[in-house]
Amino acid sequence: MFNSGINPQEAFELQKAIEAGNIRGGAATSANTGAALKVEQLDRTLKILTEQERHMRIWNVFNDKGLVKPTYNTVDEFNQKTSVGDRANNVFFSEGGVPLNSDPSYVRNGELIGYAGSLRQVTYVASMVNMTDDPVAEQVRSGTIHVLRGVNHAMYFGRRDVNQMSFNGFIPQLERFLGGFTASQSESQSFLDARGQNMTQTLISDAATVVEDNFGYANCCFLSNRQMKLYQDSLFTTQRTMLSNSGENNTATTVGSHIQRQISPAGFEVMFYPDLFFKLDGSTAHYGAALNRTFTAPTIDTSTGAPAIPAAPTLAVAAVAATAPNSKHTLTTNNSYRYAVTSINSSGESAFNSTAVAAVSVVANGAAALTITGVPAGADGVIVYRSQSGDSGAAAKMYPIMFLSKADVAAGLNGGAATVVRDLNVNLPNTEFAIVADCSPEVWGFRQLGTLLKYPLATIATAERFIMMLMGTPQLFAPRKICVIRNLSPTKA
């Protein structure tokens, strides 16, 4: 062999077996390996790491209970009977006489339809190549989930006064019934204040009593997954729980309980419906860290014909002395906060900037007076952010506490003069909501102008474009028969 002109190293290479190796075929760089000959194996099943339709809890419950019904106009109206008579319990009269005349009271109310959609497109080339899934079908599925997620969240928190393209959710509709956002900030039977507690049996009972005192049947409770977990934890630490045996010869032990319902004071079963998206910002991210907002506004509109994303307003913050009516500020130490404001419209939200962030210390029974100016003409409203107590540095985590219309800001709020919004500490940062309600079609529902559909667009390029679209609005017919619990802490209190 050595006489053939092949050196020992070359002879060694010839004697080597072809090895598949553990690298991808496309990563092979040597001719002395079999990796370059490998055909790569790709699982044709797409692995879903995001939300799915089963996570849209309030939307699914409303469909299951027959609360989603059609409407045939862009304004869905209804009549409310607010009283059966104007003389309360005075129904007595003298012998031989007649009772005084009494008439029922009626009110007409209604909501504007909102149009929710997600624009999707698939290029002609993408439809021709061999992909793991039908690209059009995959875009239809993704667009469907995108729309339903937005609708599910807006059914709780949607506000037309800060986003004119949105419909009004149940919480803003309840605020309007009470007299607007300002009225909802004061003590109200329809809003129970947890003040940083976790969800408890007592809070559920109190909310159910509100519903039942207003002629309702408390039979459902929507809350976040975290509040459901904290509620279950409280039962394990305060009550005896049973370990259930299962399996052959009862040798397998199951620890824990699936809490499905609580009996109300009036004897009704309040069913629990934990909702992943029942959070003010709609995020599925871990609490706190993801809300350390440093916004960078998008550079394009979100839809054709949409207004430009507005610029940020300016903010000045001052402390109000300990004489602010209805103040819930109680801290005498660790009482510094950082505030920020953004502008918002249907295209998106402005970024924070140096003229929209400020810090202040607030005394007990005082308030923070936020002077908000420079709200751009293209904005629909303003969002006020605040840090938690004692966290007022430049890196403070900011949480939304107020969603205000331009009219609210212009007129002033909570005792403030024009353009001055007072934070009375009614809404605590980094907290959640829950709703206890009579889940019947006489109390609330969703009116649908058009079912969720795929709406094709004209072909103007080598791509198929379409919109996944749903048109409708939530309707709160009997506001007194739901009760909102606010300021629930997402961490163990």
- Residue 317 tokens read as 């913050």
Would the pLDDT of 56 be above 80? yes
Between CA 76 and CA 160 the distance in angstroms is: 15
Q: DSSP labels for 407-429?
A: HHHHH-BTT--TTEEEE-S-SPS
Write down the mean pLDDT value for the chain: 83
CATH architecture of 54-82+104-159+444-473: 2-Layer Sandwich (3.30)
Pairing of strands 348-349, 269-275: unpaired
Report residue 278: phi and psi, to 5°.
-85, 65
Between CA 123 and CA 100 the distance in angstroms is: 75
Whether 235 and 262 have beta carbons less than 8 Å apart is answered as: no
Q: Rounded to whole angstroms, what are the CA distances from 230 to 243, 274, 429?
A: 20, 12, 18
Whether 197 and 488 have beta carbons less than 8 Å apart is answered as: yes
Query: Which pTM does this prediction carry?
Result: 0.84
Whether 41 and 135 have beta carbons less than 8 Å apart is answered as: no
- The string of pLDDT tens digits covering residues 382-439 is 999 999 888 878 788 889 999 999 999 999 988 899 999 999 999 999 999 999 999 9
- The string of pLDDT tens digits covering residues 81-93 is 877 877 667 788 8
Between CA 154 and CA 150 the distance in angstroms is: 6
Query: Quick one: residue 119, left, alpha or beta (phi over 0 = left, psi -120 to 50 = alpha)?
Result: beta
Pick from 34-43, 298-307, 458-467: least confident: 298-307
Domain boundaries, the chain: 2-37, 54-82+104-159+444-473, 180-237+258-298+307-439+479-488
